[in-house]
Amino acid sequence: MLNRRELLHAAAIGTGAAFGLSTLPGRLLASAPAGGVPKRIIFFLQNQGFDPATCVPSGMTRSGSLAKAKLPEPIQALEPYKERLHIINGLHGLHTSPSHSAFFGALGGYRGGDGVPPSASTIDYELSKLLPQTLLPHLCIGMDSIENMTTKPTIATLSAGGAGQPIFMHSNPNHLYQLLYGGISDGDIRVRHEARSNVMNQIEALAAAKGDGLPSADERRYGQYVQGFRDVNGLRDRLNTVADRLRKFAPQVDERFTKPKFETDWHDALLDLGISALASGITNTLTIGSGRGEIFGAWKGLGIEQQGHNLGHMAQPDNPIWIKIRQYNSRMLVRIMEALERVPEGSGTMMDGTLIVYTSNNADKQHTSGANWPVMLLGDCGGLFKTGCFTQLDGKRPINALYSTLLRAAGRNVDRFNMTDQLARKFDAGNGPLKEVLA
């Protein structure tokens, strides 16, 4: 059980770091860059692996169009959106040690492990700095069993702002709603929001006054702690300045939030909050961790009684349990796309400037070497990415190559991401972006 000191630390660091709030802009959304540069990006990671047989159409062994292919049952919900889909098979993550999970290494492209701190920033965080700046540069939400989400409403396993700088995922939709929309709410939600805000202001003032005389290393850490409270309080004030816009997108608080029957009620509520943050322009980067980057997770709301580690020991192809989980994820992807399609942006919609990356933090299966790491992309960002196709790679290029491709698309001219020349000589047969991905 967390003690009071740990709870306060989680409140400051967990919220401040979760959104990358060290340099909050004073506006809601920067003007969009020209051309097909992405304006927002979504990472959706399912734990326990992503078996290629659950996404690659039957009989497709070579790269080609998806136009005449039938998508496998687990991702059948994406059939009407095939022209926006790019299935990639044959990337690898051998260097990430992904057995059970690569944890921070899944989005970082480096060696990860249970309880191992991040050794560098992750791709979602790096992209959040390049995309049009928003009030919340980066939002992370994590889905798990109701017990885990209740007892650990924040957890950090997937995203990082740098070496030793984990970014926390939010797993209690009530807490996240209060943070994002408490200032525009009525009744009990508003009362709790104001009470929490007053406490946070007092803690910030007390913390700022108590850091003198510490050793330099402790003083830096303490400074980060104090800054976490300042960031949270500053975020609240900035959200209040765009209250009218937030009211248009805030989801309705219903019994899914307050009286969840199953954990999937909270999963759905969290997704609604993530979508609302994107659609309102609060954030440009959303990371979703189904299973929260670990080996747990539950989906009793889908009629699945098994949960946690044992799910990873089940073969995914033709497995009714995994078909239900993957279909649930696919419906979530559709909900994101349809929601962004309804919001005008420029001469089109928000989906036109969005890229969704769906994969696993665990390569192709729970006990894996990482030799194959399937990925699905949805969206083309104004024609920047190839869509409506399947790409079969030869297993000689790492997930880092995909990440450097995303950075190139966002405007950073890099050939590698988190991979030294020495490491690349062993794990990367090429250099630069994946030509198979960019249009």
What's the CA gap between 331 and 75, in Å, rounded?
A: 9
What's the CA gap between 160 and 358, in Å, rounded?
A: 18
Predicted local confidence at residue 210, as pLDDT: 55
Q: Are 91 and 421 in contact (CB under 8 A)?
A: no
Q: Looking at 14-18, 22-26, 134-138, 355-359, which range is the least confident one?
A: 22-26
195-201 mean pLDDT: 47
Q: Considering only residues 193 and 69, tell me which one the structure prediction assigns the higher pLDDT.
A: 69
Q: How does pLDDT run across 380-393, given as a tens digit for each residue?
A: 998 999 999 999 99
Q: Considering only residues 334 and 23, tell me which one the structure prediction assigns the higher pLDDT.
A: 334
Predicted local confidence at residue 237, as pLDDT: 73
For residue 362, the 8-state DSSP code is T
Q: How does pLDDT run across 360-376, given as a tens digit for each residue?
A: 999 999 999 999 999 99
What distance lies between CA 386 and its chain's CA centroid? 22
409-435 mean pLDDT: 95
40-60 mean pLDDT: 97
Show me where the domains of the chain are located: 4-175+259-427
Backbone angles phi, psi at 319, to 5 degrees: -90, 120
Q: Residue 432 corresponds to which amino acid?
A: G
Predicted local confidence at residue 3, as pLDDT: 38
- Percent of residues, the chain, with pLDDT higher than 90: 72
Predicted local confidence at residue 25, as pLDDT: 39
What's the CA gap between 269 and 37, in Å, rounded?
A: 30
pTM score of the predicted model: 0.87
Backbone angles phi, psi at 186, to 5 degrees: -120, 175
Residues found in the chain: 439
CATH number of 4-175+259-427: 3.40.720
174-189 mean pLDDT: 76
Split at pLDDT 50, 70, 90, the class of 155 is very high
